Amino acid sequence: MQAPPVNTFFSRRRTGVSFIALVAVSVVMLAISANSVAVNPVRIGQSVVTGVLSVFRGIGGFFGDTWNSIAELRRVRQQLEQAQARLVALEQFPIDIVELRIENAQLREQLGFADTLTGEYLAAVVVARDPGNLFSTITINRGQRHGVRDGLAVVALQDGIQGLVGRVSGAASGTSQVLPITARASFVAARLRDTRYDGLVGGVGTTADMLLLEHVNQAARDAISFGEVVSTSGLGGRYPPGLQIGRVREVGGEAFENSLQILVKPIVDFDRLEYVFVLIDSGGAQ
Amino acid sequence: MTSNQRATLVTLGLMAVAVLLNSTVMRFVAIRDTTPDTVLILLLFLAVRRGAMPGQVTGFAVGVAEDLASVAPLGFHALLRTIVGFGAGLLHGYLFLDPLLMPFLLVTGVAILKGLMASLVATVFGVPIDVGILDAGFWIEVAYTGVLAPPLFYLLAKIKALRPSKRERAR
Task: Kindly provide the ipTM of the predicted complex, given to two decimals.
Answer: 0.84
pLDDT number for residue A285: 41
pLDDT number for residue B85: 95
- B-facing residues of A in 118-147 (CB < 8 A) are 127-137, 139
pLDDT digits 0-9 by tens, A218-240: 888 888 888 899 999 988 888 88
Phi, psi dihedral angles at A16 (to 5 degrees): -65, -45
Decide: A183 and B71 in contact? Cβ < 8 Å. yes
| Whole-angstrom distance, CA of residue A280 vs CA of residue A231 | 19
pLDDT number for residue A6: 58
- Of A47 and B37, the structure prediction assigns the larger pLDDT to B37
- Contact list in A for residue B83 (CB cut-off 8 A) is 23
| Residue B171 placed within a domain | no
- B-facing residues of A in 38-77 (CB < 8 A) are 38, 44, 47-48, 50-51, 55, 58-59, 62
A40 — pLDDT class (breaks 50, 70, 90): low
Q: Is residue B1's pLDDT more than 70? A: yes
Q: What chain A residue is nearest to B18 in terms of C-alpha separation?
A: A131
CA A68 to chain centre: 27
Q: What is the DSSP letter of A119?
A: S
Cβ contact, residue pair B77, A29, below 8 Å: no
- Of A39 and B1, the structure prediction assigns the larger pLDDT to B1
pLDDT number for residue B148: 95
Nearest to A30 among B19, B66, B73 (CB): B73
A208 — pLDDT class (breaks 50, 70, 90): low
- Contact list in A for residue B86 (CB cut-off 8 A) is 15, 19
| Residue B67 placed within a domain | yes
- What's the average model confidence in pLDDT over A85-103? 69
Q: A160-174, B21-35, B119-133, B154-168: lowest mean pLDDT where?
A: B154-168
Q: Is residue A286's pLDDT more than 50? A: no
| Pure H helices in A92-145 | 97-111
For residue A135, CA distances in Å to A264, B2, B92, B129 come to 20, 37, 31, 6
- Contact list in B for residue A185 (CB cut-off 8 A) is 71, 128
Cβ contact, residue pair B69, A128, below 8 Å: yes
- What's the average model confidence in pLDDT over A69-89? 82
pLDDT number for residue B70: 87
Residue B70 structural domain? 3-166
Strands (E), A103-152: 120-129, 138-140
Cβ contact, residue pair B56, A18, below 8 Å: yes
| Whole-angstrom distance, CA of residue A204 vs CA of residue A182 | 6
pLDDT digits 0-9 by tens, B80-131: 999 999 999 999 888 888 888 999 999 999 999 999 999 999 999 888 888 8
| Whole-angstrom distance, CA of residue B98 vs CA of residue B104 | 10
Nearest to B126 among A34, A135, A182 (CB): A34
For A34, how many CA atoms within 13 A lie in the half-sphere containing its CB?
27
A41 — pLDDT class (breaks 50, 70, 90): low
Grouping H, G, I as helix, E, B as strand and the rest as coil, residue B99 is coil
| Residue B98 placed within a domain | yes
- The residue among B4, B14, B1, B3 whose CA lies nearest residue B152 is B14
pLDDT digits 0-9 by tens, A153-207: 999 988 778 899 999 998 888 889 999 999 988 999 999 988 889 999 998 876 6
Q: What chain B residue is nearest to A25 in terms of C-alpha separation?
A: B75
Q: How near does any CA of chain B get to the CA of A43, in Å?
A: 8
pLDDT number for residue B126: 87
Which amino acid type is present at position A63?
Answer: F
- Of A110 and B66, the structure prediction assigns the larger pLDDT to B66
CATH number at residue B8: 1.10.1760.20
Domains and CATH numbers, chain A: 119-281 (2.40.10.350)
A259 — pLDDT class (breaks 50, 70, 90): confident
Q: How near does any CA of chain A get to the CA of B90, in Å?
A: 10
- What's the average model confidence in pLDDT over A145-153? 91
Decide: A124 and A171 in contact? Cβ < 8 Å. no
Q: Is residue A90's pLDDT more than 80? A: no
| Whole-angstrom distance, CA of residue A255 vs CA of residue A268 | 31
Decide: A217 and A182 in contact? Cβ < 8 Å. no
Q: Is residue A250's pLDDT more than 80? A: yes
pLDDT number for residue A160: 77
Total number of domains in chain B? 1
Grouping H, G, I as helix, E, B as strand and the rest as coil, residue A198 is strand
Per residue, the 3-state secondary structure of B34-83, as one string, reads ECCCHHHHHHHHHHHHHCHHHHHHHHHHHHHHHHHCCCCCCCHHHHHHHH
Cβ contact, residue pair B78, A18, below 8 Å: no
- Contact list in A for residue B77 (CB cut-off 8 A) is 132
Q: Which neighbouring-strand residues pair with A126?
A: A140
Q: Is residue B151's pLDDT more than 70? A: yes
Phi, psi dihedral angles at A260 (to 5 degrees): -90, 160
- Of A38 and A157, the structure prediction assigns the larger pLDDT to A157
